[in-house]
Amino acid sequence: MTRAHLAPRGAALTATAALVLAGCGGDDGDDGGGPKPRLVVSAAASMTEPLTACSRDYLGATVRLSFAGSDELAAQIEQGVKPDVYAAANTKLPDRLHEEGKLGRPVEFATNTLVLAVPKDSPIASVDDLTKSGTKIAVGSESVPIGSYTRETLARLPPGEETAILANVRSNEPDVKGIVGKLTQGAADAGFVYVTDVNATDGELKAIALPSRLEPKVTYAAGVVSGAEQPAEARTYVDGLVHGPCADALESAGFGPAP
Amino acid sequence: MSPARSAWFPVVLALALAVALTFLTLPVVAIFVDSSPRQLIDSLGERGALDALWLSARTTAIALAIILVVGTPAAYLLATRSFRGKALVVTLIELPLVLPPAVAGIALLAAVGPEGILGGAIDAAGIQLSLATAGVVVALTFVASPFYVRQAMAAFASVDRTLLDASRTLGVSEARGLLRVMIPSAMPGLAAGTALAVGRSLGEFGATLMFAGSFQGITQTVPLAIYDRFATDFDSALALSAVLVAVSGAILLAVKLVQGSEALGGVAR
């Protein structure tokens, strides 16, 4: 995939990004004028539930969360958008931003498990069942971590099986929420998501564990965005993903501890 | 009014226009400034981009055909008759105009998705909408048709009724009157409505993604392809955006040029 083109180019575009940011900050007055600083956190969509829960009563700052595919959030930062914290569903994107000087040193704070997710009454019992023609599969788009983990996993299957499964893919979703939505709405028969996404559906979906030889290593990493408005608070928030209420929330959502 | 008092107001008007124009055109101009023509052409030669353009063209054409065939007589009825609850009917038809795309996506899933209220019947009929090209057409038709119907209603309502009455007294049936008198007379407004529907349809994003999914050549229209490339291939995303801007701009301009100031008024109404 082409990566080299990602450096921000063109003053006009940076100006547009700045306009967008200015627009986001426009409702400061609504915060009641409290003394708490405002912390903007861009986080992978797979952390929506736990981070929303632990950030509601976050001490020290009013936390604004922005959830999307890790790749899109990274692209926003590369285009000049500056949240305070960036938390991704892999280590590759934070490492890349760090190399580009756009993110402080990334901290690995949690792990997750890739699973095969199916509606609760589905007859599908294993990855092998996905080769049957007519099975509708939703996966993450190649650019988003869930999509690259999925392709990494499928590449470990015998070539014929991998091809048959990829031929059944009907949607390349921009983030995990899209995959889960397609499954809960019955549009797709199976999908690859994180075990935490299945837990969050309250039994609507069931997770089928992958054989350990197929399982990819899913490590989450976060960092303080260079030029963040609240660097100190951002640092505290990132540390809190390793130890603290947010780390606890991640753990109870089914995330594994930092490796 | 004294000359001193009236002098400042035109300045305010001009200033407001300048601000509006700058704000609305800067992002569009940036798309072209940020990419070289060479990059544009290279990116558009890529298979996925071509697939997306072709899919958008096809699905928009099918949606438009449905909108014209069903929307024209429906708009004619609403424009020429009054009945109890007409205001409610018009409001319901116009509602998708103001629905956020995400709401449109959820609404389509709830109505005609696999688990939706009509999902079973559609499945029994052997039709697959979600994750299929047909689903894209449904999404486009849903979001774009109010633009046409609304415009067509206004266009039919503004046709001089004596024309239709005269053709009736000459023994021409209402159906023929619609085809021979009403549609030609309302053409500027109908064309403007068509242009708006095409523009909205080409730009549809949220409802398509939620209802139909995103798959190259099947459901990944140009806006979805732009979103897919945003993070990994910004050049290609810019190139596709440039095509959408050019096509939409050309459609709007063509309508204005062909129809003259009449269509301009029609769009604004």
Given this model, what pLDDT does residue A10 score? Answer: 41
Let me know if residue B24 belongs to a domain: no
Cα–Cα nearest to B195, from B249, B139, B140: B249
Given this model, what pLDDT does residue A204 score? Answer: 93
What amino acid is encoded at A27 in this protein?
D
Q: Name the one residue in this structure whose structure tokens are 């190649």.
A: A142
Let me know if residue B33 belongs to a domain: no
Q: Which of A141, A146, A148, A204 to mutate to test the interface with B (most CBs of B within 10 A)?
A: A141
More confident residue, B134 or A1: B134
Indicate the number of domains in chain A: 2
Dump pLDDT digits (tens) for A78-133. Answer: 888 899 999 999 999 999 999 999 999 999 999 999 999 999 999 999 999 999 99
Closest CB to A5 among B114, B214, B234: B234
Let me know if residue A243 belongs to a domain: yes
The two structure tokens encoding residue A52: 């929303």
Chain B residue numbers with beta carbons less than 8 Å from the beta carbon of A142 are: 232
Given this model, what pLDDT does residue B162 score? Answer: 83
Given this model, what pLDDT does residue B42 score? Answer: 82
The pLDDT of B76-103, averaged and rounded, is 93
- C-alpha distance from residue A135 to each of A26, A127, A147, A149, A171 (Å): 47, 12, 18, 20, 12
Given this model, what pLDDT does residue B13 score? Answer: 94
Say yes or no for a CB contact (<8 Å) between B114 and A187.
Answer: yes
Let me know if residue A10 belongs to a domain: no
φ, ψ (nearest 5 deg) of residue A180? -60, -45
Residue B1 has pLDDT above 90, yes or no: no
Residue B39 has pLDDT above 90, yes or no: no
Given this model, what pLDDT does residue B41 score? Answer: 82
Given this model, what pLDDT does residue B160 score? Answer: 85
Query: Whole-angstrom Cα distance, residue A223 to residue A231?
Result: 10
Given this model, what pLDDT does residue B203 score? Answer: 92
Cα–Cα nearest to B228, from A166, A170, A140, A102: A140
Q: Which positions ≥6 away from B168 have C-beta within 8 Å?
A: B174, B177
More confident residue, A161 or B262: A161
Let me know if residue B35 belongs to a domain: no
The strand pairing partners of A38, in sequence order, are A62
The pLDDT of A227-236, averaged and rounded, is 92
Enumerate chain B positions whose Cβ falls within 8 A of a Cβ in A.
26-27, 29-30, 33-34, 109, 113-115, 119, 130-131, 209-210, 213-216, 218-220, 227-235
Given this model, what pLDDT does residue B229 score? Answer: 84
Q: Which positions ≥6 away from B245 have C-beta within 8 Å?
A: B28, B31, B32
Query: Whole-angstrom Cα distance, residue B37 to residue B51?
Result: 20
Assess contact for A135 and A251: CB atoms under 8 A. no
Closest-CA distance of chain A to residue B200, Å = 22
**What is the CATH number for A118?**
3.40.190.10
Q: Does the pTM of the predicted model rise above 0.95?
A: no
From A188, A209, A230, give the residue that closes a domain: A209
Given this model, what pLDDT does residue B261 score? Answer: 53
Let me know if residue B83 belongs to a domain: yes
Chain A residue numbers with beta carbons less than 8 Å from the beta carbon of B131 are: 136, 138, 170-171, 182, 187-188
Query: Whole-angstrom Cα distance, residue A127 to residue A154?
Result: 9
Cα–Cα nearest to A148, from A208, A219, A202: A219
The strand pairing partners of A169, in sequence order, are A137
pLDDT band at A65 (very low <50, low <70, confident <90, very high): very high
The pLDDT of B187-213, averaged and rounded, is 92
Given this model, what pLDDT does residue B268 score? Answer: 41
Let me know if residue A140 belongs to a domain: yes
Domain that holds residue A186: 114-209
**What is the CATH number for B124?**
1.10.3720.10
Task: Write B56-62 long-range contacts (CB < 8 A, 24+).
Answer: B56/B202, B56/B221, B56/B222, B58/B133, B59/B133, B59/B136, B59/B137, B59/B140, B59/B201, B59/B221, B60/B140, B60/B198, B60/B201, B60/B202, B62/B137
The pLDDT of B43-59, averaged and rounded, is 90
Chain A's closest residue to B227, CA to CA, is A174
Mean pLDDT of chain B: 88
pLDDT band at B2 (very low <50, low <70, confident <90, very high): low
Assess contact for A86 and A235: CB atoms under 8 A. no
A227 with A205, same domain: the answer is no
Let me know if residue A203 belongs to a domain: yes
Residue A33 has pLDDT above 60, yes or no: no
Residue A4 has pLDDT above 50, yes or no: no
pLDDT band at A34 (very low <50, low <70, confident <90, very high): low
Query: Whole-angstrom Cα distance, residue A210 to residue A216?
Result: 9
Closest-CA distance of chain B to residue A22, Å = 14
A186 with A142, same domain: the answer is yes
More confident residue, B187 or A19: B187
ipTM exceeding the 0.90 mark? no
Cα–Cα nearest to A239, from A108, A56, A47: A108
Query: Whole-angstrom Cα distance, residue A32 to residue A41?
Result: 20
Task: Write B43-47 long-range contacts (CB < 8 A, 24+).
Answer: B43/B233, B43/B235, B43/B236, B43/B238, B43/B239, B43/B240, B44/B239, B44/B240, B44/B243, B46/B236
Closest CB to A171 among B27, B115, B131: B131
Let me know if residue B5 belongs to a domain: no
Closest-CA distance of chain A to residue B219, Å = 8
A197 with A180, same domain: the answer is yes
The two structure tokens encoding residue A10: 């063109």
Query: Whole-angstrom Cα distance, residue A117 to residue B120?
Result: 23
Say yes or no for a CB contact (<8 Å) between B114 and A186.
Answer: yes
More confident residue, B157 or B231: B157
Residue B4 has pLDDT above 70, yes or no: no
Say yes or no for a CB contact (<8 Å) between A174 and B209.
Answer: yes
Given this model, what pLDDT does residue B5 score? Answer: 59
A90 with A123, same domain: the answer is no
Query: Whole-angstrom Cα distance, residue A219 to residue A242?
Result: 13
Let me know if residue A245 belongs to a domain: yes
Mean pLDDT of chain A: 86
Given this model, what pLDDT does residue B169 score? Answer: 84
Closest-CA distance of chain B to residue A59, Å = 33
Chain A residue numbers with beta carbons less than 8 Å from the beta carbon of B51 are: none
φ, ψ (nearest 5 deg) of residue B241? -60, -40
Assess contact for B221 and B52: CB atoms under 8 A. yes
pLDDT band at A8 (very low <50, low <70, confident <90, very high): very low
What 3 state SS string does chain B have? CCHHHHHHHHHHHHHHHHHHHHHHHHHHHHHHHCCCHHHHHHHHCCHHHHHHHHHHHHHHHHHHHHHHHHHHHHHHHHHHCCCCCHHHHHHHHHHHHHCCHHHHHHHHHHHHCCCCCCHHHHHHCCCCCCCCHHHHHHHHHHHHHHHHHHHHHHHHHCCCHHHHHHHHHCCCCHHHHHHHHHHHHHHHHHHHHHHHHHHHHHHCCHHHHHHHCCCCCCCCCHHHHHHHHHCCCHHHHHHHHHHHHHHHHHHHHHHHHHHCHHHHHHHHC
Assess contact for B33 and A12: CB atoms under 8 A. yes
Cα–Cα nearest to B225, from A143, A214, A81: A143
A172 with A133, same domain: the answer is yes
Cα–Cα nearest to B195, from B155, B225, B157: B155
More confident residue, B66 or B173: B66
Domain that holds residue B229: 44-268
Given this model, what pLDDT does residue B262 score? Answer: 52
